[in-house]
Amino acid sequence: MTDKEIKQVVSRLMGKDVLSYRLRDDGFLVVINSQGWKVTFSPSEVQKARANGKRKPKVTDE
């Protein structure tokens, strides 16, 4: 995953309130929010957040 993709995933999971983040080699994403809380996301949570951003817009016939 590129740095840009990681930033998008962090934004989807935590919003803009992030001081720091790190994607570990084992797939876990560790995020520090602006209040100093450390939040760890599992690889499956990271993949779900990544997949949610790649949805194609619905096309409706009008």
pLDDT in tens, 1-33: 889 999 999 999 999 889 999 999 999 999 999
Say how far apart CA 3 and CA 5 lie, in whole Å.
5
Q: Does the residue 60 lie in any domain?
A: no
Q: What strands, in cross-sheet order, belong to the sheet with 29-33? A: 18-23, 29-33, 38-41
Check pLDDT > 70 for residue 57.
no
What is the mean pLDDT of the segment spanning 29-56?
Answer: 90
- The count of structural domains within the chain is 1
Return the pLDDT at 53.
74
Residue 23 counted as domain residue:
yes
**Would 7 be classed as within a structural domain?**
yes
Domain of 34 in residue numbering reads as: 3-52
- Report the pLDDT value the prediction gives residue 59, as an integer from 0 to 100: 62
CA distances from residue 50 to 12, 38, 56, 60, 61 in whole angstroms, order as listed: 8, 20, 13, 25, 28
State the virtual CA torsion across 51, 17, 2, 24 in degrees, nearest 10: -90
pTM: 0.78
Q: Does residue 33 lie within any of the structural domains?
A: yes
